[in-house]
Chains A and B, each alone.
Chain A
Amino acid sequence: MSTEVSTPEKASTPSSPPPDEGNGGESLVQRVVKMQAFQILLVLLVIVIVFSTLAPNNFANFGNARSIVLNASILAILGVGMTFVIVTSGIDLSIGSVMVFSGVIGAKAMIAVGGDSWGTAFVGIGVSLATGLAWGLFNGFLIAKAKVPPLIVTLGSLGMALGLAQIITKGVDIREVPQVMQDEIGYGNVVGQLPVLTVIAVVVVAIGIVVLHHTRFGRYTYAVGSNEESARRVGVKVDRHLIKVYALSGVLSGFAGVLFLAQFGTTAIAGQTQTNLNVIAAVVIGGTSLFGGVGTIFGTVVGLFIPAVLQNGFVIVGIQPFWQQVAVGAVLIAAVYVDQVRRASAARGGKSTRPSLRFGAKKSSPVEQGE
């Protein structure tokens, strides 16, 4: 049994409002400090300060910062979708493959249309988005309706999307990308030195944050991840919501695919095998719980920069860049450990928060025998 910690005020005098105005005795500052996203931001700041001290000229300059941010831009777009998925206590392993597949189909479409104009580019973008959406819907339907665990569905579509991309291209990367796309999106800048890709990523992240934290769609995403059954009982259309969330992840993967084409001018079929794991690691480092119900997109973005800054910094200060993988692995484990400790202390209140990792198995509504 839990100890009672309700306010000492008499239950029979409910008219006097609690003095804390509903902030639970915690100030905003206290709550922010307790957020994993904030703690991980401090870790990032420490890393940045260390590298800036070690290599004040080479690391801490605008050009280097710009390249770090640019490299994280496409991953950030994938991270937005992945955060939604993991908040529902799901997982999407297929993002890298869907990205490649969508890039291939987009490139094929642009070759078919021909020309180097914006019109061609927009056809490619539209086709890639639609292709990503199709994969997302495929994942979502199998997970929500057929009740196949997300881990398995997206592992399957990972293989299928990559295999189909290789079949379509016969394993040879497509390198024909409209010049305007590479010049204006891939290498384009706004306001002087700000990469267009980064601006696009910032817009996607901003929209993602607003949707996740301020709309009913976001609220349902948390509710489904927190307690699917109770969401169902109050009338949330859980299946439909899961389909939408995986569709979102698919669309953003498609978008990432076409942006990758613009940036590198190639479909890089073999180049995305680690992308899913890198994005998942960033989401988890940023404080989104694999158990669902908790997470922020801000955390995901911070989580992306830790590997990116480490990689960049190690090269600059002359440490073997392979150490980056070691360091990121350690940060990942530490982040999940902190999450576990937090959840163990939160669970003192009751059994409903006991961890039961279930991206392996979407809980099918149990047929409860009546007593």
Chain B
Amino acid sequence: MTPVLEARGLTRKFGQVTALDGTDFDLEAGEVVALIGDNGAGKSTLVKALSGNLAVDSGEILFDGIRRDIDTPMTASSLGIETVYQDLALAPHLDPAQNMFLGRELMKPGVAGALGFMDNKAMRGQARQAFDRLGATVRSLVSPVGQMSGGQRQAIAIARAVHWASKVVFLDEPTAALGVRQTANVLDTIRRVRDQGVGVVFISHSMPHVIEVSDRVQVLRMGARVATYKTSETSMEELVGTMTGATGRTAA
């Protein structure tokens, strides 16, 4: 089966620092791949490169087996790739529905739409449905998201990504700032999205979450993929050992 997203030999230098050193990556449709590695291993850089937020110096990216230049977030979006950033990238003064449709507003039909009038009712309705589908408890659809708790904003950012992603979702540390129940919610969401046939890339430092939700684990060290494991065939100890360089093997 062709991976929905594949990277071959990606390299990116920031001055003297080599953030990506010929790294490979692959993701199938309908699976959850955990991307792990110590701080500075290149996880976030790799996600930025694959989501159109960073140009690479060399290497190639294949989408559905075809070589593509994913050079802007808009290119990624048009391919059905969405990202939940660590900083969530929400506009704090806009409400959840406005955030969900920002840049992709639904316009009123006919002349009104051509004049720039938006169909707020439709957007609010669809946003409500999207939040409900994820079990996201969004208190208010008309309050600015800046006034909401970290968990709620996280839920909104994830709901937005999932709503628009038809192929791939990147989640950069989605559980880092969450309580127990919100975390369970996020992990649930990840499974649900996977079951719809979307590939999910899950970056986390939390090995229990990685083991709990992922199908495969790819380990980065010093800018390169050093190992790929089937989650069912590995252990927390092995993952930590590979991350830190204590042990290593390349298998699948």
Q: Which A residues contact B (CB, under 8 angstroms)?
A: 1-7, 9, 11-12, 14-15, 17-18, 20, 22-26, 211, 214-217, 219, 222-223, 225-227, 229-236, 292-294, 346-347, 349-350, 352-353, 367-371
Cβ contact of A293, chosen from B39, B93, B135, cutoff 8 A: B93
Q: Which of A25, A231, A235 is in CB contact (< 8 Å) with B139?
A: A25
Which residue on A lies nearest to B78, using beta carbons? A235
Q: Quick one: which of B44, B85, B116, B137 contacts A6, CB cutoff 8 A?
A: B137
Q: Which residue of A lies closest to B20 (CB)?
A: A370
- Size of interface on B: residues with Cβ below 8 Å to A: 66
| A355 vs B97: C-alpha distance when bound (angstroms) | 24
Q: List 24 A-B contacts (CB under 8 A).
A: A6-B151, A6-B152, A7-B137, A11-B135, A11-B137, A14-B133, A25-B139, A214-B117, A215-B116, A223-B98, A226-B94, A230-B88, A231-B102, A234-B77, A235-B77, A346-B147, A349-B149, A369-B17, A370-B12, A370-B20, A370-B46, A371-B39, A371-B40, A371-B44
Closest-by-CB residue of A relative to B54 is: A370
The interface residues of chain B lying within 8 Å CB-to-CB of A233 are 53, 73, 85, 89
- Residues B85-105 near A (CB distance < 8 A): 85, 87-94, 98, 102-105
Is B74 within 8 A of A222, CB to CB?
no
| B90 lies within 8 A of A12 (CB) | no
* Residues of chain A with a CB closer than 8 A to B185's CB: 11
Q: What residues on A are CB-neighbors of B17 within 8 Å? A: 369
Q: Is the CB of B19 within 8 A of A370?
A: yes
Measured between C-beta atoms, what is the minimum distance from A210 to chain B in Å? 9
From B48, B147, B153, B179, contact of A370 by CB (8 A): B48
CB distance from B19 to the nearest CB of A (A): 4
State in angstroms the CA–CA spacing of A12 and B142 once bound together.
23
* Contact assessment for A350 and B91 in the assembled complex, using a CB-CB cutoff below 8 Å: no
CA gap between A160 and B203 in the complex, in Å:
52
- Cβ of B104: which chain A residues have Cβ within 8 Å of it? 234-235
Which one of A22, A293, A346 contacts B141 once the chains associate, using CB atoms below 8 Å? A22
Chain A residue nearest to B72 (CB atoms) is: A235
How many residue pairs link A and B with beta carbons under 8 A? The number is 166
Interchain CA distance A5-B140 in the complex, whole Å: 12
Q: Which residues of B contact A (CB under 8 A)?
A: 12, 14, 17, 19-20, 39-46, 48, 53-54, 73-74, 77, 85, 87-94, 98, 102-105, 107, 115-118, 124, 128, 131-137, 139-144, 146-153, 177, 179, 181-182, 185
Query: How far, in whole Å, are A293 and B91 apart by their CA atoms in the complex?
Result: 8
By the criterion CB–CB under 8 Å, are A226 and B137 in contact? Answer: no
Q: Is there an interface contact between A217 and B93, defined as CB atoms closer than 8 Å?
A: no
A24 with B89: CB separation less than 8 A: no
Alpha-carbon separation in the docked complex, A202 to B107 (Å): 27
Q: Is the CB of A229 within 8 A of B140?
A: no
Given contacts A227-B92, A369-B14, contact A234 B181 (CB under 8 A): no
Q: Which residues of A are found within 8 Å of B92, using beta-carbon distances?
A: 226-227, 293, 350, 352-353
Alpha-carbon gap, A6 to B181, bound state (A): 11
State A12–B85 Cα separation when bound (angstroms).
Answer: 25
Task: Pick the contact of B103: A12, A236, A353 (CB < 8 A).
Answer: A236
